[in-house]
Structure 1
């Protein structure tokens, strides 16, 4: 269809440690706190992309668990798939993409993020029915 723009697919991992804390990054490009993630590469499965993104941004190796939500940024045409992850190994460290990396209590993590990203973490916490399907404008959720 003429004028139709392609969508981008991204993946993210909501990584939980044994203490129930969430692994968060402060992104280098925009200064926002978010779960680690990024654009899925053409040759990757969803799980491979999550594993790679978390490792690249934080130094943490994870086991990728269930899909917890699908989110569409209506403004930018980005579809994000978010998975709950568990720590396998590694020490959290900063990277070219993350100026800060921190293990945060869920309430603290949620308070640091815009609503469009906080809902992704909240949806991935244990006890939540999954998966969720949501749309947003880049900052706030919008009605489907």
Structure 2
């Protein structure tokens, strides 16, 4: 059992407004555009973690709708569960974890985010659940 690999579990929220725009953050720690999310805490359900992470990073409360994808960073052993959400209030313009919080179109998401994160957003607009692996930047075959 000591040799069993350990994984970290993260959650993220793809918050979509009435006009089809997606709430994104520019992270303080790496200056990259990503959907709001982070490490799931031990005592949380997946949905509780999504609500907490989105609130902490954007100031927005959300209703979690459905799981849209499961993604594994093969380099770091991080498994991310991504959920589509609807906004319940307006976001802040920045937070302790985000230099900037804003709404983007899908085209803006594809241009601003690395492929490993942009696909999480675009997958949330499709009806089926996706599972994908990536190297932290690019999707793996």
Q: Partner of 2:134 in structure 1?
A: 136
> What secondary structure is seen at the aligned counterpart in 2 of 1:142?
coil
Check the 8 A contact 2:21/2:103 in 1, yes or no.
yes
After TM superposition, the score normalised by the length of structure 1 is 0.94
- Structure 1 CA distance for aligned equivalents of residues 128 and 11 of structure 2: 16
Is 1:29 the counterpart of 2:29? The answer is: yes
Is 1:112 the counterpart of 2:105? The answer is: no
Uncovered stretches (5+) of structure 1, i.e. residues with no partner: none
Moved over 6 A (4+): none
Deviation at 1:90, TM superposition (A): 3.2
Deviation at 1:108, TM superposition (A): 0.5
Q: State the Cα deviation string for residues 20-63 of structure 1 (Å, max 9, x = none).
A: 11000001111110000000000000000000000000011100
Check the 8 A contact 1:12/1:82 in 2, yes or no.
yes
Q: State the Cα deviation string for residues 89-132 of structure 1 (Å, max 9, x = none).
A: 1333311110011111111012100000010001002xx13210
- Structure 1 CA distance for aligned equivalents of residues 105 and 57 of structure 2: 19
Uncovered stretches (5+) of structure 2, i.e. residues with no partner: none
- Structure 1 CA distance for aligned equivalents of residues 112 and 90 of structure 2: 24
- Structure 1 CA distance for aligned equivalents of residues 89 and 127 of structure 2: 27
Check the 8 A contact 1:13/1:85 in 2, yes or no.
yes
